[in-house]
Structure 1
């Protein structure tokens, strides 16, 4: 669907565009001013995005946030990425939601999640160690260097 919008095959209300990214108003907004920041090239999920494209999309989002807040008279903002079907992504073209927020608007992203069980420190430490060891394993991280 987003590929069609990017190619101009459907109506879209664009608020920003460049060679890499396009930003337009969501047709089913949480609140007025709900913007989607989308790469022009098709990538399904966050893990597919090249680092330079991901950084550029984030720069576009941070440039738009104060403008969207002013235009929509919002005091706050949710920046949401649903990456994959299990995470709630229903359009399989990576995108960033910029959702302007006002007190009492009725939208909620409850964190901590009310249904979660608080793990003990040993469980937290074990998961942290597992992730950390994967970062240090060249076969797991494709040579990614952090820090």
Structure 2
């Protein structure tokens, strides 16, 4: 049996409905398209680290704790949640997560890396476009005990430049069959 997107041998899940409110303007689609003019879009073009036909990688608008700053990875096409991703895009995201982690290690030498991803309101999703967070970690940073705080655009641009300088996106492409 193939999954409900027709992209793999997965059982068909129950119907997954959209949680985006009526008239939702997706901030990540705006960033992908180079248009962050919507007043509710907190993304900036200077946040972008990397973009190709499948993925966009960018500095997050919010940070957590004293060592705030992390990176997000999204598909360029609008998929609301993990359930909707085609296998090829999910594989590209996984490969990019690893490369972003290596780039963070080269740029900042953190003691560890954490990732997290949320789906649906009860899963703590609040932007209705799939995105995966990649965090640099340090001893006793207590990342998950801090509230989200907006980060200055100039600081996010520094994060983007640090990671862009050490990222090797060529390692994220799947071999052609």
Give your verdict on TM over 0.5: yes
**RCO (CA 8 Å, sep 6+): is it higher in 1 or 2?**
2
Alignment size in residue pairs: 109
For the pair shown, which has the larger CA radius of gyration, 1 or 2? 1
1:26 and 1:35 in contact (8 A); partners too: yes
Q: Mark the runs of 5 or more structure 2 residues left unpaired by the alignment.
A: 1-26, 37-43, 146-177
Write the deviation string for residues 47-88 of structure 1: whole angstroms up to 9, x where unpaired: 000011111111111111111233233111111111111111
**1:43 aligned partner:** 79
Asked if structure 2 preserves the Cα contact closer than 8 Å seen for 1:77 and 1:98, the reply is yes
> Which of 9, 19, 28 is 2:35 aligned to?
9
TM superposition score normalised by structure 2: 0.58
Instruction: Report deviation, 1:6.
Output: 0.9
TM-score by length of 1: 0.69
Cα contact 2:62–2:69 (8 A) shared by 1:
no
Indicate the RMSD between aligned Cα atoms, in angstroms. 1.5
- For 1:15 and 1:54, the matched residues in 2 are separated by 19
Q: Which residue of 2 aligns with 1:70?
A: 106
Instruction: Identify the residue that residue 59 of structure 2 maps to in structure 1.
Output: 25
> What CA distance in whole angstroms lies between the structure 2 residues aligned with 1:32 and 1:74?
12
Distance of 2:81 and 2:61 partners within structure 1 = 21
Contact map agreement 2:56 2:74 (CA 8 A) in 1: yes
Unpaired stretches in structure 1, ≥5 consecutive residues: 110-147
Deviation at 1:14, TM superposition (A): 1.4
Q: Which runs of 4+ in 1 moved over 3 A?
A: none
